Chains A and B, each alone.
Chain A
Amino acid sequence: MIDIKMEIQKDRRAFIKNVLSGTIAGSLLMVIPAGAALDERLPEQIPGMRGDDSTFTEKKFAFVVDVTACIGCGSCCVADKNEYNVPDGNYRTWVERYIIDDHDEVFVDSPNGGLDGYTKPRTDIPYPVRDTFFVPKLCNMCEKPSCVQVCPVGATYRTEDGFILIDKNRCVGCGYCIQACPYSVRFLNPVSRTAEKCTWCYHRVREGLLPACVNVCPVHARKFGDLNDKKSEVYKILREPHVISVLKPSMGNRPALHYLGLRREVV
């Protein structure tokens, strides 16, 4: 094994050259570790998920978005698009930018759902800016989901452990769930012509992995965990006296997606 630090200290220029030309990387072009499956070799991100073959877990999952932490980089959006090959122009998750000026006027935008990040400042704010922040959006995983209520064929449903999923083999593509969702997280996939939305990465969670967006967030603004696990971060956050809210509480959908530090301007 090459000690990188030693290499660098020896001759930084040479090292970089080597790295760039691929000689070091090339010489190390490693044999992929074989044997146990990938998910068995790597550490479990959600404790107690691996080897759980029951249809429904005994867990009570919650998602917490820390509005005060999000930097609007859009890593989550990129990861989400990669995970599901989401067709362009549709969004399973997106990040909104809120700007509030000192006349209480609220300016919101989300160019391409935040997928390309926020690289340009807004120049159309007439008054000095009072506050600006980012709000990531995704499926609220309601306890009383409107989408499940209205689906005419039972293609969208709520599992006993709280995931709202869509059976893409049964969805007729009527779009009623899209109309019913108060949070507009659903869209009609133009390829499969069925409804689609964020699943909190059900397939990953069941393998002990965090949702793709949570996994990539560099500032830990997205948190996911089990409320039945008193050691989990989400449990601690919801237990402590933070400013915590859900979106559109008056809808009565009782989301399992909580926002930490949510301002009232956020819809």
Chain B
Amino acid sequence: MSVAAHGGAAAAAANYIFPNDLHVHWSLMIVLYPYITGLVAGAFIVSSLYHVFHIKALKPVARFSLLFALAFLICATWPLLNHLGRPERALSMMLTPNPTSAMAGFGYIYSAYFIVLLLEIIFIFRPTVVALRQKATGFMKTVYGILAIGSDNVSAKSLKLDHKIISFLAAIGIPMACLLHGYVGFIFGGIKANPLWATPLMPLIFLLSACVSGIAGIIVTYILLMKISGKEIDVDCVQTLIKFLWGFFILDFVFEMLELFSHFYMANHHWHTLETLYSGPLYNTFWVFQIGIFSVIPFFLLMLMSLIRFKDSLLLFFAPIVSIMILVQVLLMRWNVVVGGQLMSKSERGATTFHPMWLEKEGILPAIIIMIAPVVILWIIGKILPFWMDDEGVEAA
């Protein structure tokens, strides 16, 4: 780079950022928001692979992944509300959604998706809930009564209709999950002022990384919950999930690299800004961690696990490790896109720095709380609805 050629002092002097660009406005909360919605979309895809595409091997996790999606979906708005300057006006997004704004659709897309997910859970679990209601007493009886929509009818006729509705909801759920997350990608991809974000590939990358993180999240929690409860793990199911994880990750990783490579190859004036970013403030989080450690290693591990038939114990040892690495990769990718994009000043002449604090409003501690919340919610849901098929009183359709 020409600046570097003149020595460190000149390079430092050339670091001019616009006075209003010193502050990174979208920080940890906005890193978590696409991460959480990504987990939701990905988990829903896992469920749909069974319910719509009839991948029978995924049956053990088909129901669980819906509940997993619900737990995270409930928390998806929390980081946003914590981030807003005036959270008390948040409903204005529903009241007066600006038709030209990429962000305004979130309220409606989120609500619609929430309704679809909730309905699908209600219908899928209805026979189970009806059975549980008969056994339950007191408060829980009321809860099950509400979840069963006050009906005790599990006749073949009513279950047949339920089944049709489930198929329909799962079918429209796929495009909606894609819309929800592709749309989150577009929130960034549509910002022409930011060369790191402004790419038509952004929604696609977000969507693929969403699928990847969702599948990885399901693998980790499935194995973990089975180990805790001492139940037998369905190796075939894990093996299939790993294969899907590898498939989606190939696409995800290729598109991530393709996007970067296009910028590098076309080398327009934006690349010079991006180049300083990738070689400077993002060097560690992008090249070393996101690419070097958490993409390349899982990529080859997944390839081996998919192509070679591992011993069961070996598969179950590596599956959670590789899944956790993928979860970290996606989180790093969100960080590098959301925070990284804002590090470059629009002056095209320099970058600011960003270090999250522990205790500030949008700091690390609130981020941890928001990430723990869905796990707690999932645990509460687990007290009400059974995660696994074999716990059911009544076999589902």
Contacts and interface: CB of A to CB of B under 8 A. Distances in A.
Nearest to A94: B19
Contact of B20 (A152, A184, A193): A184
B96 A154 contact: yes
15 contacts: A89-B23, A90-B19, A112-B19, A146-B193, A148-B100, A153-B92, A153-B97, A153-B98, A171-B85, A172-B86, A172-B90, A176-B187, A180-B192, A182-B346, A183-B18
B10 A154 contact: no
Interface stretch (B1-9, B48-56, B157-165, B214-222): B1-9
A150 B101 contact: yes
A195 B84 CA distance: 11
Give me the 6 closest cross-chain CB pairs, A-B, nearest first. Answer: A173-B85, A193-B85, A108-B16, A152-B104, A182-B193, A184-B18
Interface string A128-162: 00000000010000000010111111110000000
Given A173-B86, A182-B192, A194-B86, A150 B10 contact: no
Most buried by A among B13, B19, B96, B346: B19
B103 A251 contact: no
A151 B25 CA distance: 15
A122 B2 CA distance: 20
Contact of A179 (B9, B25, B100): B25
A188 interface: yes
B20 A186 contact: yes
A13 interface: no
B243 interface: no
Given A91-B20, A174-B84, A184 B345 contact: yes
Interface string B81-99: 0011111011011011110
Interface string B5-39: 01101101110101111110110000000000000
A194 B89 CA distance: 11
B111 interface: no
Nearest to A179: B191
Contact of B93 (A96, A108, A152): A152
A154 B104 CA distance: 9
A267 interface: yes
A179 B90 contact: no
Interface size class of A (residues with CB under 8 A): 35 or more
Nearest to A150: B101
Given A126-B10, A176-B101, A180-B191, A267 B26 contact: no
A105 interface: yes
Given A91-B20, A113-B19, A179-B25, A153 B193 contact: no
Contact of B346 (A96, A105, A170, A184): A184
B342 interface: yes
B348 interface: yes
Contacts of A238: none
B389 interface: no
A53 to B, nearest CB: 27
Contacts of A172: 84-87, 89-90, 92-93
A103 B193 contact: no
A110 B6 contact: no
A67 interface: no
B26 A175 contact: yes
Contacts of B14: 105-108
A170 B89 contact: yes
B9 A124 contact: yes
A181 interface: yes
Contacts of A186: 20
B102 A150 contact: yes
Interface string A234-255: 0000000000000000010000
B9 A126 contact: yes
Contact of B25 (A91, A124, A178, A194): A178
Contacts of B106: 152
Nearest to A267: B348
